[in-house]
Structure 1
């Protein structure tokens, strides 16, 4: 990763002061159909931001010549595995890192093939922004719509449609506007809080890092400028305090035998020493004595900080418990309605089957009570006659858990509203779920 220092972004109204520093990290997922130029676009971002070493550039230039390319094939910067390169496909979620003086970036590079829906779900589940590529010559295709739907299903707050290969349509404003209108029309069926459409040529660099003179009719930002300036701190839930206990720290020897701290990651709200809090599922209340990080005590904690919380009273608190506010707590729920993306190729989800369920730091067992419908992600049609979900299919289900989950709706909190299902026989993760209702 580049070692540039980060400059502070503009203040975000209502956000904790320390959160301004956290706003200099953007996680974004890329998606596109095969040959839309996704690898070239990522390569262009890495190349033009000078985040790659000279020997990597030389290696790519040499490989490009060996392939007979008349240009430096920047896609080779991101297509990591030689076997994949030879087949011309990229098949997993690859995480790339780069930085500019303004912000650090983590890219989840997800494959475009329809059989890898699960990879898109994995890559976009923690993303602040989804970048969807379309080929200017082809316009919107089924996969473009599918990727947009998955991004909104996963509550990714910012969506960018990059209309790529504009150089192959002579930078036509008419072509660009047609695609923008088509996508805006489709987006009305989805919940898209923030949509930006940018004409680019990844191959030639137009509107990727800097504005292009070949699109005088476009008055928006370049792609990198937009990625650097999009506000993400205000996307986080700062209202509902949620802290799932991951580990109880209690030294067995030394000077700190009376120390008891609860380690975990803040998934919602802002926590401060002195705050009154409640521990679930016991329901006992106390106050926060202190909040500590690896660098020492802090005055406040907010998502996604990993901290250790000390409480004023000695309560029976263990892994899987939730620290929240007394008058703003999730309802312990054993009956869960959720959208689930099925990820297992060897077995389907069918009603009556039992799985382990992992929700925040709590694990329980769950039975599938009902498959309400299977969703066609291309047409958004609900098939209520389906009896099972196969690999890469998405549907709405009802679960009954053996122990109450301390859950929120996914639209309210992506951490406390998400879960995974695990096959107890093979220990494989077989499904990723987004809670729509808990009771």
Structure 2
């Protein structure tokens, strides 16, 4: 599939997840279009060998980025664009591995470059592999998300470091976390074995989760799988702000969120008035805009702008992801109405979110603006040093209000 064809397919999927889905379903071209997409996707895939598999991530959307500079507040993987950007994995590196006996390959979802299911005696387990660019330094936050998935409390960084088991993925060192608990929903015994590898400015997340007994039995196979892994020559380019992943689906979990990225061409990008002192940051894949702000005494903050198709996963899940970034507990729908307000934006009414917490043990603040517009949702997020963010709140609001969106 060439670049133009790949782009066209991504645009169509973004369209299908938008508000015009229902109208499109009624069109007679629907079956033909789906068939065409399947044919296009199929032509890019090769045959799998008997034991060694090659995963071509070209069919896998990758999560949108929020690449924050090293040590900058908010660089934590919790901002799938500021909403959940479903990335394009076309430039993700290939992954080679030996498939353990009994593991079945599953369809790749938005963030996964490899996905497997394990079933024995009615028990189930899932294995996912997700690469995220620019994700160094956030291991404690990710491990605590995993802990939450099996009903365990969060731990301080020092305690988490004691849980890490040293392991190799291929020939590269990585950390393994073995977490046993219960499903918050069913109360059944569950276990997660998660591995985090940092390679070429990319964090690779290997995760096996499922019924506790089955996961325990499959641990040797999982470790053998990890040792068999080898990487292609390119590093994953995209980054993701995990604050956008659903509470039940930590970004590193690898489950499909069902949300598609809204593709934004250069000609479709809004125009706006950039406040004084905001410097353009490195624009990662699928991030519409990024600005960094420097304050007194080395204080830093970052502004990320992204767009998602439809409602971007819903306001409440996104707010709770953002709260999680600052070490705050989730809120329910009733409490949500107490902590948000509305502002006028050029495209209509927008929701303003503002709360304070800590990031890396230091006071931090996050101000977000969510604007539904024309079948997609725009996410603006300012996060960083608490005092600096407070000083920049008015500038952020004016920035949002100055935006002019293409028709």
TM class, shorter-chain normalised?
under 0.3
Give the TM-score of the pair, scaled to structure 2.
Answer: 0.25
Give the TM-score of the pair, scaled to structure 1.
Answer: 0.24
Q: Based on CA coordinates, which of the two structures has the bigger radius of gyration?
A: 1
Higher helix share: 2
